Structure 1
């Protein structure tokens, strides 16, 4: 059952990071105490999860502490988000970092909303058939051709220039210290290293330095460090992002990509530009303003589905309500059908107009009229273009709010685990985001044609599931939520459910309770509805019961059970009394929010 939520405490089962010298143990601490894992060595958390001066939440507790440390020093939400992101890109480098990109949503202190698009771009020498004509089936995933031009540092540069209060160097200090002196491997990183047994981690000399220094892959709780990356961060802290985009780091990066068959050039890095875009918004229940990013992110899909749900009577959160679950899934399916028409608006002329049309109240009513309470429709009704529904991967989500009301919620990624499997001699991992484009001349596994709006073009940004969201009180303009999720294609449905539960419950559920609840997912292709099962390793996590699965099956859904954790959400909620709640993902055992 999806909306019958049981309270679950934040779980910290794995020690994720700490500083020590020497590398082999915690004796002789050399760093500020808040750079430790909040749950390590029996220590109490450094910060509470509630406060009234600001909050930061990430998938790694120590990185949330880093963000709040920066707030405490007088930094803005922008400063905190940058510092926390650099930390996450070090302690969870397998899926985010300066070799990748993403999307963010900014709310200024006066309530102005802006979207910053730091999604990676296709190299100038790329073309739409570079993968469909390639004899190597993994060329878009592994190796130099898979690498798109990273955008993360250009985002941090502009955020800091416009909204930062602390010095640029100050934001880099925690990540530099962590990489130089060492940190403990947390649960998430341990899984990434050991579950799939990636051979390059111990075979390639540069990777081996970090993850297999003694020839054997390091495990959870063991100490590692990345001295090369510490030096790189010092260079960027001193010389600015131009060191990365037009300096010695750029030349080393390009050499590493080209050595693995890639086409990136230094000019590609020089030409990268951060895009500021105007986000879209809707009203919900006549009480809330919900703002989300536009294409090539998928925030518009969240808004459209939420608006469809708003046409129905309010969900009953006091009892099991499988009808609400059914309507939620149907709204998801219409949203994913709309997403097949999206692409980079700088290359696809009708995308902005299409997104606006999908948010018209009349269109929401048109969709809800098609949602039957006792049946589903053929997939073609939700996706009349018969285009493929794209699946993407990886990602990390971070939210930060300061005492002025400035809020930043962002999602960043190098795409699949370990990106392109290229680590540069400067110690950072490069993305494989070229895999997020569509390729012509092929149909996908389900027989659907590729999405033309997402074909490769030089300088173009591929479509993404990333969907950061900000919610405000419609009457007062006060911030209510700054949230988002990681999890590839499941990002959209995770964000939708968390925002929907909090808003539709009208105060009965807070964001932490919503994150703790089981999630449902349906993206049209494959034509299945997945429900999270009860997982004993997450104490108190209930999962869906068989009654919900049976009810959905009776209405025409093809239901399956999946393990929890395929989407991982974080966010900050602000209550009417001004208290902030840093709500962290219980499916990530190293995650914990921090508040001031």
Structure 2
């Protein structure tokens, strides 16, 4: 009999080769997924059903959570290239078993970095106001592959090639365009105007639509090289040269040395006790600490109430106010390598003294102007994009991963190797910027060579405070809405006791100190009831400036998480706001 990992790859090859020739071995992303969302062993949740299946197959084939998240993540980069892929970066939170029979946590930072030639004034010139969101100047050095490489070296169990091969086959043999990809393709003129893009997404002169078959053969060849020869083939050699070629032919400043010198970083995550749990999350330059601060401020209030409880309006007000203060703290964070006091500052904002003082500023009968929550008067960064996924395995190992190329389709540049490049330089701030309140950009997030831009990513894991048993691995997509979406997910499960299905179907609010508080309205097609009208009216009477948004708006979408119930049952959930996702368990 073949070893477990060889049986796993053989099963993928058999699956593809056994399909009828007329299907050309296509993965059909709209067909029902043949598994269940509740089971006793492990679970995977991603935004693309075939990628969830791949991750689950990895677990069933003897792999662990690290193996599964790598295989699933590479798959998502194939299908959902509009906001993720190896041309981008991200953050992951890892829970792993140690040699003492217990477990530890670490964060792997694979956030993109500014090219060495980057400087804080590079986007100040108004002659090209779109330079930071499209074109070569917007591209930061990609980090995803170095992050997955580090995860695999530290925690993986299956051979690297086995984890990359499913994505290779998917890209080469084709997959059905799902509803989310079809929506992302609409209205993008560059797709048909640029031959390299049109080859993949408009092969017959018109953009692919839902149900069409998409082939990414250039990308498949690239992934195959990475599978066989390792991640170095991306950061050196012809793949790297082709990245530099397309970036710099479009006014970029990246060099081969920028790529060759990129390194992922292991960081120590932050954590807080919250109710009967301990919650861990990613640190700067991500925003997990911002989310933890809001939770900790809110913890001082009694909040074990259902939505039908008469105090739910007041509870929601308190949670929003706590979040406003946390967003005000966020303006002082940045890359720790360039802001040495950031780690101390994050710890400081989570101390009992600061938390209690901040909570005392929350009044139950009113809200305040933005300046009340943001004494430094710095603007809050508004980032975009992202894809989230989570895995828990049978041994309690868990990974919560969020990755991005920033705006949809990143820089709108694709290399001849099929790699969609990020526009992450747009997540930095520049001198002279002001928002509608006259707040200046924070120097903590100014551009510098080799620096990582601030991110809203808040990949999180919660465990039982007494037993240490894992409770959930969670996070969200949605740019700057990630923080509030992740916060509400934890609140709904820990405080209200909602299961995974109820958590993701609960309507959401969002507030990031931009002068508006957003509430989702009813969306029957995805099963979202819409925010309670009485609660919204309560907020309006208290002085909030209310805006309604759809489920595909900016209240945060793309929560994919896995829960372990007290009886050991695993629940894997996908957000209905992203129609093509799936949560599976075995």
What TM-score, normalized by structure 1, do the two folds share?
0.92
Write the distance in 2 (CA, Å) between the matches of 1:364 and 1:326. Answer: 17
Q: Does 2:496 match 1:480?
A: no
Q: Note the C-alpha offset of 1:368.
A: 1.5
Distance 1:480 1:349 in 2: 33
Q: Find the aligned partners of 1:555 and 1:293 in 2 and give their Cα distance.
A: 33
Counterpart position of 1:9: none
Aligned pair partner of 2:224 in 226, 234, 238: 234
Q: Secondary structure at the match of 1:108?
A: strand
Offset of 1:295 from its aligned partner? 0.4
Aligned-partner Cα distance in 2 for 1:20–1:529: 48
Q: Check whether the contact 1:20–1:29 (CA below 8 A) recurs between aligned residues.
A: no
Residue 224 (structure 1) shift? 1.1
Distance, in Å, in 1 between the alignment partners of 2:323 and 2:371 is 14
Structure 1 portions without partners, runs of 5+: 1-18
**Shift of residue 369, structure 1, vs aligned partner:** 1.2
**Coordinate RMSD, CA, aligned:** 1.6
Distance in 1 (CA, whole Å) between partners of 2:28 and 2:219 is 19
- Aligned pairs for 1:189-268 within 5 A: 189-194=181-186, 197-268=187-258
**Displacement, 1:581?**
0.5
Are residues 1:129 and 2:121 paired?
Answer: yes
Distance 1:536-1:347 versus aligned 2 partners, 3 A rule = same
Match of 2:531 among 544, 554, 563: 544
Residue from 336, 353, 359 that aligns with 1:345: 336
Say yes or no: does 1:396 pair with 2:387.
yes
Kept in 1: contact 2:523–2:550 (CA 8 A): yes
Matches within 5 A, 1:434-583: 434-505=425-496, 508-525=497-514, 527-538=515-526, 540-565=527-552, 566=554, 567=556, 568-583=558-573
Structure 2 residue runs of 5 or longer lacking an equivalent are 1-14
Q: Secondary structure at the match of 1:135?
A: coil
Query: Which digits, 9 at most, give the CA deviation of each residue in 1:40-95, with x for residues without a partner?
Result: 1xxx5222111222111001111100000111111111110000000000100000
- Give the match's secondary structure for 2:103: coil
Q: Is the 8 A contact 2:45 2:52 kept in 1?
A: yes
- Shift of the 134–254 alpha-carbon distance from structure 1 to 2, 3 Å rule, reads farther
Q: Distance in 2 between matches of 1:318 and 1:400?
A: 29
How much has 1:315 moved relative to structure 2? 3.5
Q: Distance in 1 between matches of 2:203 and 2:366?
A: 57
> In the alignment, is the contact (CA less than 8 A) between 1:128 and 1:456 conserved in 2?
yes
Conservation of the 8 A alpha-carbon contact between 1:520 and 1:531 = yes
Given candidates 271, 276, 299, the residue that maps to 2:288 is: 299
- Structure 1 residue 158 displacement after superposition: 1.1
Corresponding residue for residue 100 of structure 1: 88
Partner of residue 75, structure 2: 87
The alignment's TM-score, normalised by the length of structure 2, stands at 0.94
Structure 2 CA distance, aligned partners of 1:462 and 1:26? 47
Alpha-carbon distance in 2 for matches of 1:202, 1:21: 32
Conservation of the 8 A alpha-carbon contact between 2:25 and 2:174: no
SS at match of 1:289: strand
Moved over 3 A (4+): 19-22, 25-32
Counterpart position of 2:401: 410
Task: Report how far residue 28 of structure 1 moved.
Answer: 4.0
1:268-310 Cα shifts (integer Å, max 9, x gaps): 001101010000100011x211001110000001100000110
Asked whether the equivalents of residues 20 and 182 of structure 1 are also in contact (C-alpha less than 8 Å), the reply is: no
Q: Counterpart in 1 of 2:137?
A: 145
C-alpha deviation, 1:36, in angstroms: 4.5
In structure 1, the residue matched to 2:6 is none
